[in-house]
Structure 1
Amino acid sequence: MPESSENTHVAVVNDEEQYAVWPAGLALPPGWRAAGFAGTEEACLDHIAETWRDITPRSVRRAA
């Protein structure tokens, strides 16, 4: 069964390589871009859990 647009979310990522879930169809906030995955909120959270292994912001990792 296809998901309705109300159930569809996208995984998004910012320049610090931090991930979030965003409702599909809404404009992304400044500084965020689509991470290439869409689905239910739960599916997006699962994708983020598999993808985002180090939650340390990129700028902190680079400074170390």
Structure 2
Amino acid sequence: MQDETNDTVAYRVVVNHEWQYSLLREGDALPSGWRDAGAAGSKRQCLALIGERWNDMRPRSLRDDAN
């Protein structure tokens, strides 16, 4: 496994219709059902952004049903 401190790969943050976030290597095709979340950078930067935005791990449909 590659040491994350030496990871020079660029990533982008993607989100699906359930508001679940993930990372995608920059340049990889966007999978069906996912859209660009408007952020890109190092793995560490992208994970930090996901940590800020995705503070409820339940899928959107479960969150909506709870209200």
What TM-score range do you get, normalising by the shorter chain? 0.7 to 0.9
Runs of 4+ off more than 2 Å: none
| Alignment match, 2:5 | none
Partner deviation per Cα, 1:15-35 (whole Å, 9 max, x = no partner): 000000100111111000110
CA displacement at 1:53 relative to structure 2: 1.2
Using the size of structure 2 for normalisation, the TM-score is 0.82
Q: Which blocks of at least 5 consecutive residues in structure 2 are unaligned?
A: 1-7
Q: Which blocks of at least 5 consecutive residues in structure 1 are unaligned?
A: 1-5
Between Structure 1 and Structure 2, the one with more helix by share is 2
Structure 2 matches for 1:11-50, cutoff 5 A? 11-50=13-52
Aligned residue pairs, count: 59
Using the size of structure 1 for normalisation, the TM-score is 0.85
| Alignment match, 2:56 | 54
Q: Distance in 1 between matches of 2:34 and 2:16?
A: 4
